[in-house]
Amino acid sequence: MKTLVLGASPNPERYSYLAVQRLINNGHEVVPVGIRKNSFIEGLPILIDKVHIEGIHTITLYLNAKRQEAYYDYLLSLKPKRVIFNPGTENASLLKLLKDNNIETVIACTLVMISTGQF
């Protein structure tokens, strides 16, 4: 299952870094997207552009609601099956937009979902 991590950080203390790491360790194909140029997580380059990627199943959010606004069209263009709103990323506007486009939404912690086998 291909997962895009939006808000990926090269800082090992950030939850987005841990999510990328744990997704990889659990056999998921991961696409990290962030803002730090020339950055990597577990050898994967963090993309800084809104690159179209085929076959994204899940997008997990690590950006606050205000910073998500610039990505609305991008997220919809990827046609994910679901979007996970991690703690601190809740966003009523994006939630409605996703539901209007028949995209499953989950308000949960990706790290907990992985560790409990719910991912």
Strands 104-107 and 44-45: unpaired
Instruction: Report d(CA 65, CA 70) in Å as an integer.
Output: 10
**pLDDT digit string, tens, across residues 8-19:** 999 999 999 999
Separation of first and last alpha carbons in the chain: 10
Structural domain containing residue 52? 2-115
Q: What is the pLDDT of residue 53?
A: 96
Phi/psi of residue 68, nearest 5 degrees: -70, -30
Total number of domains constituting the chain: 1
CB-CB contact of 110 with 60 (8 Å): yes
pTM exceeds 0.85 = yes
CATH of the domain at 64: 3.40.50.720
Give residue 71's pLDDT band: very low, low, confident or very high (50, 70, 90).
very high
